Amino acid sequence: MKSKNSSSYKLLLPYIRPEINTIIQALICTIGFTIFWPILAALAGKMAEFIGDGNVQEIIKYAGVAAIIFLIRGAVQYGQDTLMAKAALKIALNLRCKVYGHLQTLSLNYFETAKTGDLSYRLTEDIDRIGEVINKVFHQFIPSILQVIVVISYMFYINWKLTGATLIIAPLMAILIGFFGEKLLKYSRKSQNKISSLSSLLTENFSGIRLIKAFAAEDYELTQFTQESEQNRRAKFSTEKVKALQFVVVGFLEAMSVIFLFFLGAWQISENNLTGSEFVAYVAAVALLIDPIAITTSNYNEFKQGQASVDRIFELLELEPLIVEKKDAILLPQITGKVEYQNVSFYYTSDKPILTNLNLIVDSGELIALVGASGAGKTTLVNLLPRFYETLEGKILIDDINIKDVTLKSLRQQIGIVPQETILFSGTVAQNIAFGQEKFDIQEVETAAKIANADLFITELSQGYYTYVGERGVNLSGGQRQRIAIARAIFLNPRILILDEATSALDSESEALVQEALERIMENRTVFVIAHRLATVRRATRILVMDKGEIIESGNHQELLDKNGRYAQFYAQQFQD
């Protein structure tokens, strides 16, 4: 990763280039806006001359000219502002979509450790800050710099000695602004990390609000939130103290500059090197410098704070996915569902193997039940099939095709998954059943729902299939959510189906409906069932008992009972009565 002491903004150039035409148009407006500043200063000097003479007619004429100039200047300023806002917002949009798309390519292991709130903050607040910085670079910073250059050039034109003496203090101000800017960058990084942690805490709490209430942990969570908020407050306060000190120091130097200016102006007038009207024009020019200098200083501070956001965004873009398609990956053709594991080994850490030299052949249409204690490797075995994780040794074949030789999309579209914990997304019931499909046939959705025993309760909802289910499906019961998840798997019409004990958390009535739906969709498919309750696996073609990443027993229900081994022990423990 690049050094954080060097500028990160050059990383944004690929996202700025597509909007260069809009930016050029905005800069043309900026130049038109800037050239009017010295003209206004000169008009102020002329009007001061006629005020001294009491020439009302000339004052009115020049006031009219000034009004016209302000109107033209306002028009080009409007063009500058709208064009730059358009470009900045488009750049932020493209960057946000790029980062989100990149995150979608990352492997599951990243999301198992990443904080959801932190990712959400980076994709929203950090990218919005970058967009604001880009906007201000062209909308405020560059115009202010041009304004300073033009006005100072005019000041040199009026009296170069006075201008040269006035600018002696400029290098000191530049050094101070740079010093404070680096301090702001340091504190901004810390502040944004703290607010990301706060966002993560909020996401966790709102997702687990039922558990918090169930354990009466409101006070505990409030204490955690208060501590995190206090750390965020301290980080932000450190940033504000640096900014406040900067404005005091720079403001003092600006005030001293003005006092010095009047002293030098009086000296130049006494030496007959400057007239009174010229000095008024000169002071007007200096007044025109106050805003652009203040804006430049403020923008520099914001650029330093924005650099922390750029660093955080490109940290995400530098992440590499662990699961990568081959460049010559092929589309997986329509499969029959035969699966073969050949000498497969897998582990998260080298000292703790999850699967060890596992071999397994599953014929098309078989119902395979996986049984074993927690941590035996059941979930890992099925997670390797759609390549959620990568095998470290050995290979997995589907219809004699190595899954590493095919595209991820074509592989996963032929594998249906019904998880133990059902996840529904905000949207309609139909959108959840046809998940991942931008366009779908509502009749196919209804057919899938009927097979899943979901059609009856869906049609009784306020808007039927077009009813919004709410975030995570909180408006539905557990059994209803599970049946929608089954319908979602049916809609894909997969040849391979993975069931992670889809009935373990349901009441008896819901379980019966779900079990009936599962039996329908398992017909003529290759099915892997992760079984936590043995009553659900009696009709399996084969039951695989796993322990420490190995298959230690294999057979149907009666065969394994007759062996009187590990499966028989599990069965006795659950049905000892």
Provide φ and ψ at 331, rounded to 5°: -80, 135
- The pLDDT of residue 6 is 46
- The pLDDT of residue 144 is 79
Look at strands 393-398 and 339-349 and give their pairing: antiparallel
Question: How open is the CA angle 475-500-206, to the nearest 5 degrees?
Answer: 35
What SS3 state is found at 324? coil
- The pLDDT of residue 174 is 63
Residues of the chain with CATH 3.40.50.300: 336-414+496-505+528-577
d(CA 133, CA 126): 11
478 and 506 in contact (C-beta within 8 Å)? yes
d(CA 283, CA 270): 17
Radius of gyration of the chain (CA): 35
How many C-beta atoms lie closer than 10 Å to residue 323's C-beta? 16
Give pTM, 2 decimals.
0.70
Q: In what order do the strands lie in the sheet with 415-418?
A: 415-418, 496-500, 526-530, 367-371, 542-547, 550-555
What SS3 state is found at 454? coil
Which tokens belong to 112? 């198992």
Q: Which residue's entry shows tokens 């403001």?
A: 251
- The pLDDT of residue 384 is 93
In this structure, which topology does domain 9-317 adopt according to CATH? ABC transporter transmembrane region fold (1.20.1560)
- The pLDDT of residue 3 is 44
Provide φ and ψ at 555, rounded to 5°: 160, 180
127 and 133 in contact (C-beta within 8 Å)? no
- The pLDDT of residue 4 is 47
Which tokens belong to 477? 């019961």
d(CA 567, CA 540): 14
Q: Which residue's entry shows tokens 């050949």?
A: 342
pLDDT tens for the 577 residues of the chain, in order: 444 444 678 888 899 899 999 988 988 888 887 777 667 667 766 676 666 566 667 777 777 877 887 788 888 888 888 888 888 888 988 998 898 888 888 888 788 778 777 888 888 888 888 888 888 887 778 777 877 787 788 778 877 777 776 666 666 666 766 677 677 667 777 777 777 777 777 776 766 666 666 666 677 777 877 887 788 788 778 877 777 777 677 677 767 777 777 777 777 777 777 777 777 777 777 777 777 777 777 777 778 778 888 888 998 999 888 888 888 999 999 999 999 999 999 987 766 778 989 999 999 999 999 998 888 888 899 999 999 888 888 999 999 999 999 999 899 889 988 887 777 877 889 988 988 887 889 999 999 898 888 888 899 888 899 988 865 555 687 778 888 888 888 888 888 999 886 655 555 666 677 677 777 777 788 999 987 666 667 788 899 999 888 999 999 989 999 999 998 888 888 765 4
- The pLDDT of residue 219 is 76
Residues 6+ apart with CB under 8 A from 459: 465
- The pLDDT of residue 471 is 58
How many residues in the chain? 577
- The pLDDT of residue 385 is 93
Look at strands 367-371 and 526-530 and give their pairing: parallel
For residue 80, give the nearest of 41, 127, 23, 137 by alpha carbon. Answer: 23
- The pLDDT of residue 554 is 92
- The pLDDT of residue 5 is 44
d(CA 43, CA 39): 6
Let me know how many helices (H) and strands (E) the chain has, helices first: 22, 10
- The pLDDT of residue 45 is 66
Which tokens belong to 351? 């000292």
Residues of the chain with CATH 1.20.1560.10: 9-317
Which tokens belong to 428? 């309609």
| Top-level class of domain 336-414+496-505+528-577 | alpha beta
Query: Position 16: which residue type?
Result: I
- The pLDDT of residue 536 is 66
Which tokens belong to 524? 């003529």
CA distances from 361 to 58, 153, 158 (A): 100, 83, 91
Look at strands 496-500 and 415-418 and give their pairing: parallel
d(CA 11, CA 26): 22
- The pLDDT of residue 405 is 94
